[in-house]
A and B are shown apart, each in its own frame.
Chain A
Amino acid sequence: GAGVSQTPSNKVTEKGKYVELRCDPISGHTALYWYRQSLGQGPEFLIYFQGTGAADDSGLPNDRFFAVRPEGSVSTLKIQRTERGDSAVYLCASSRGQGNGELFFGEGSRLTVL
């Protein structure tokens, strides 16, 4: 596609529920990233995929967070037992190769946990 596509753009859920956020990267981009941005802050790294495998998941805050990219294209970020502190904008980005900082971001999925 023309750009990185993320769905849903907005998600409101209740504490304790399960949430899935989807990312469709730019066609041909092998690297995919998830970042999280809280209000008034810069994005924070969560996980980096090169192809189908998670090359670095050191930014995932705890084991309630998990991400997959089974066919090396679309990725899903999964959050179990959501907490109010998980409320943020979840940004997906993609790049050719490792990117070295030249990332193309989607518009984000705004998650609100009530």
Chain B
Amino acid sequence: QKEVEQDPGPLSVPEGAIVSLNCTYSNSAFQYFMWYRQYSRKGPELLMYTYSSGNKEDGRFTAQVDKSSKYISLFIRDSQPSDSATYLCAMSAGDSSYKLIFGSGTRLLVRP
């Protein structure tokens, strides 16, 4: 079993929909939680960063971390075709915070 599990999708939604992306993990030492967006043939781009539990909002994006359930989520409001990409969750432990453990990514398609 992988340390970080993520549904690969693809997830197809109409423009304007609310998108929910999720990851589960097994390592209780994880303290830093990130969401990266990756367009085809590009490098990952950091979208959201959260330390420990709680919510964080940035524009149309909201990240949630529930450490008690070992579950993290990314919500995208008013989704746009330009949001079509692969979304990677990533996390790391406090003693090796540079060593990110990534999920396999969820491919999102927002239809015009």
Q: Which residues in A have some Cβ–Cβ distance to B below 8 Å?
A: 4, 31, 33, 35, 40-45, 48, 55-56, 59, 91, 93, 95, 98-108, 110
Contact B49 A45 (CB under 8 A): no
Select B99's contact among A42, A59, A102, A106, beta carbons within 8 Å: A59
Contact B92 A103 (CB under 8 A): no
Question: For residue B71, which residues in chain A have a CB less than 8 angstroms away from its CB?
Answer: none
Select the stretch in B13-21, B39-47, B57-65, B75-83 that faces chain A.
Answer: B39-47
Contact B43 A4 (CB under 8 A): yes
| Bound CA span A4–B49, Å | 20
Nearest B residue to A41 via CB reads B104
Tally A-B pairs: CB < 8 A. 73
Contact B96 A56 (CB under 8 A): yes
Nearest A residue to B97 via CB reads A100
15 A-B pairs in the complex with CB atoms less than 8 angstroms apart:
A40-B104, A42-B4, A42-B105, A43-B44, A44-B102, A45-B101, A48-B99, A56-B99, A59-B99, A100-B92, A101-B33, A101-B98, A102-B49, A108-B42, A110-B41
Contact B34 A101 (CB under 8 A): yes
Majority SS of interface residues in chain B?
A: strand
Contact A107 B42 (CB under 8 A): yes
| Bound CA span A36–B41, Å | 14
* Given A48-B99, A101-B90, 13 more pairs with CB closer than 8 A: A31-B98, A35-B100, A40-B8, A42-B6, A43-B102, A56-B96, A95-B98, A98-B98, A99-B97, A100-B32, A105-B44, A106-B43, A107-B41
| Bound CA span A108–B39, Å | 12
Known contacts A101-B34, A102-B46, A105-B44, A42 near B104 by CB under 8 Å:
yes
Nearest B residue to A33 via CB reads B98
Q: How far is the CB of A54 from chain B (nearest CB, A)?
A: 12
Question: For residue A55, which residues in chain B have a CB less than 8 angstroms away from its CB?
Answer: 98
Question: For residue B51, which residues in chain A have a CB less than 8 angstroms away from its CB?
Answer: 100
Question: For residue B98, which residues in chain A have a CB less than 8 angstroms away from its CB?
Answer: 31, 33, 48, 55-56, 95, 98-101
| Bound CA span A56–B98, Å | 9
Q: How far is the CB of A93 from chain B (nearest CB, A)?
A: 8
